[in-house]
Chains A and B, each alone.
Chain A
């Protein structure tokens, strides 16, 4: 009963497992393209689905060029259906198309390659309109506003671009795209986005604000294109008066509306820097302060002091650099790596860069460290300025340390590892030792099979031998069974020799032969062989499924007959041969 059920299940399984292959080849392939709407506004998103029926093994469709849309893959879904044993398969590739312009557009045929053929979808015409003006900024559910700190700026001047999204209901899955032309603006983020509430015309809006610092790179009149944010507005559809505890427990019923909000493009005029730049001007634009500080003004030859130069202010502080002070010959100078810290204050990037030079005087005397100058352009005052440090006087005495003292202090000097000046960089040389150039071979599956398999086979063999040896020690029945044939065969050989020599009497011969046979069977079946009768032998052999049970009984009876009614020598020879054959037969059947 169960086996019949199992057969049915197996057949069904095989049918399901094998059928898809045959069906998918047999089924016609068709490709269609669908959209969820063909009229939309710039705030909407179009869902495009390419449905391939008849197969699921295709590369993704090749969409035609869609310059007026931003295309994002929205995943795939596949389906398999059985209707009256007919199987149909399909796969759907979904895309989200965000319109970038208004007008009428044609989504050209998408091409799909399947089974060596190319299939095309039908073109689809889409009309994109401006968003409806029914909702004004005052009562809209969500809208965006972008501002620029100034609509006129010099090349390199810092501008603050602020993007704000206002929404009256919950918004999720916000995806912001700020399309700046990298060739015209350098962009830096001004910290984390802010979040706050604001009341406009009595309506409370939740505002999320992101600010960026923009640095114009080229002069000219530009338009910063619209920033686009995609978001899901969560509309509550539950009746507020409902006090159903279950609905409260399972949460409010909501509906998500996907929206694409665009800001107004902003225009900006980027002015070139005026002529008359001071000497050493390196496009540093902003407002900066500079200060210099020396570790100690009185020191000895060979002593060390640190000159710290700090530049801070608003603008591109990161780009500021200073050459080593022109003190070669008088001082040994070790410049340190400049440290730069950036802070954001009042939505503007402020920075501080610290340069450190370790100075070791080589000669005694009074010196003056030269002033450091930083020429920069101040866009606030629309003029070039130069920030300077005052000259720093320095009194250097001859070294008071004597030679003897130097020797004592040599350990201390050793403790400080001397700084090694890197003069150049190069690669390590090629290898020439020929023993390294052995050809690395990839291993064949035969090599891997033998390498990993042979220890397993050796183990199985040795385990089998060990198990047999252990069983021979402790399992008496097994030991008797294993040695039954060997013992019987040895005794039969002895009897055969006696029979040939003519020394054995038929009576003794019959008794001995009967004993060998019964002992053999006793060993095989783990019985007291000598004590069992011919009938018992037949019964026990039949119980143990030996086919020659009856033949054995008859042979034993003949042996007994020979014991009690001895016949001629010829019959003993015949009986011996039959016994040998029977034992061989029983051995095969065991």
Chain B
């Protein structure tokens, strides 16, 4: 990579998209710093990304789409939605862990699991804040937290622990359950390495599924039932 003309568009783009890491990224950044032409090519990739983000701002999901998911779901009495909840392991481990308000670090897949231990730039407990902010809002609703993250109610469940909700915030997902003292975080799964996206399938979902099953959660509550439960 001594000749700057040999730096491909793909490499510059990968750097702009945060896909290039470590020594490679550093080396390329240095080349860019020294070569105005390279810097311009790089800028084109960085700027198109920024522009597109602005041109297609995240807008609230229209209610009808959320209703479409929930309505069909209620009709079919599906066991899958919103997470594919088919597995029903003998779940007492989760129940016990829950009772002990678990703090777990899991070494695979880069996820951290724990109570109130969201890694990353979040200082206070955003899950607790999200649970309270969403307390009277239906599934699909989104709120802005004080720290600027957005939180969304993904589903509500009737469980052995009472009303529990699945909440998604930018880098974490959590199950919170309502008790007399308010909302308690029963489980949080957060992305470990600071990247911007949590795969919807795999490990995190599996853990949340297992946890929900272990506390006897059925299909997500339909809008009517949810409204009633939340206002109780």
Q: Do A and B bind each other?
A: no
Residues of A bordering B, CB below 8 Å: none
Residues of B bordering A, CB below 8 Å: none
